[in-house]
Amino acid sequence: MGIKVVTKGGKPFRSKLAPYEAEVKELASGGISVRAIAKEMLSRHGLDVSHNAVASFLRTHGARRRNFLDGISEGRRLELLKQLRALWTHDSTAIEGNTLTLGDTMAVLEYGIAVKGKPLRDHQDVVAHARGVDFIQALLGRGRIKEEDVLSLHRIVIAEQSNDICRPVGAWKREDNGTYGAEVGKSVYMPYASADETPLLMAKWLESFNAMFNLRSDEDSALNSYVAAHVSFVRIHPFFDGNGRIARLLANLPVLHAGFPPIVIPAEARQEYINELWAYQRAVGVIAASRPELLPDEERLDGFKTLVRGWWSETIDLVDEAKRGRNRAGRVVRL
């Protein structure tokens, strides 16, 4: 129920937003601006309210969650979000071997420019990843995700149609997968979860993830949620392809939901990042239905957490500089 306020005439005043209190709070908790919430309520319910009315309602009901965009002007917010989207897209796709530079990526996303001499697939991958970022933003207002959301994200990020029944897009893997690494000068194969057990393990992952998603967390808790979601997802490796990109997108949902900027693993840290994941997975063994603990021996992740905290500083610095009204002269370039 909404809070009633008695007017001078003695009649109680009840905001038009009161019947939709839960929806408004969910949208606000996802970092959606009050202007966007007003438009969304008009679209959903034909409710004509001003952004000031939305802001007043949220203040009255104490629903406003921390948002890293707070304190930044509306115009600068848009530019900052473009910067973060491009940086996130470039680094995540570059880790997977994409050859577009950060400037190339920004040109493709901002202006639709094809970069001469670069593969078509590289262009498609950055556009698809950027759409994945947009999809993650759309999930923020829900407070939880379902299996179909994860499968939909895979369809968005893997921008191709597969006719191979064993390599489906938007479905769990149908063949076992694994990766190779080197230990003591020898090539070693490390398997991930079996295809047969993946649906069961992903149901467990979703249950754990949604518990983290809904936390109102501080910076340390947001960091821990990112690491837990990321590492447990790649232990399962539920898709034939795109697991790293999907993990780096989904693991940021609790971070964004808690009001912080996304964690972006820098492309230049690729080998260090892969080595940390490899070392942990080799130490704890293959996840299986018979031993389904998502993060055994979690203390082994302390080094990875330290690295992730350092990598996170780049987007945190971008936000701080936007709040101070300065343009960055570093890696994120203006076109």
Token pair for residue 140?
A: 């923020």
pTM (predicted TM-score): 0.79
Instruction: Give the model's confidence band at 161: pLDDT under 50 very low, under 70 low, under 90 confident, else very high.
Output: low
**pLDDT digit string (tens) for 281-324?**
999 999 999 999 999 999 999 999 999 999 999 999 999 999 88
Looking at 88-97, 159-168, 194-203, 204-213, which range is the least confident one? 159-168
Q: Is the pLDDT of residue 9 over 70?
A: no
* The pLDDT of residue 143 is above 90: no
- Residue 275 CA: distances (Å) to CA of 94, 98, 272, 280: 16, 19, 5, 9
Question: Where residue 43 falls among pLDDT bands split at 50, 70, 90?
Answer: confident
Q: Between the CA of residue 136 and those of 80, 83, 144, 153, what are the distances in Å?
A: 17, 16, 12, 8
Across the range 257-279, mean pLDDT stands at: 96
Mean pLDDT of the region 190-198? 97
pLDDT greater at residue 11 or residue 155:
155
Q: List the catalytic residue out of 154, 230, 237, 257.
A: 237
Q: What is the pLDDT of residues 55-73, one digit of tens each?
A: 788 777 755 567 899 889 8
Does the annotation mark 237 as catalytic? Answer: yes
Mean pLDDT of the chain: 88
**225: amino acid identity, one letter:** S
- 91 residue type, one letter: D
On whether the CB atoms of residues 246 and 157 are closer than 8 A, the answer is yes
Pairwise CA distance, residues 39 & 41, whole Å: 6
pLDDT at 332: 45
| pLDDT tier for residue 37 given thresholds of 50, 70 and 90 | confident
Work out the average pLDDT over 168-185: 93
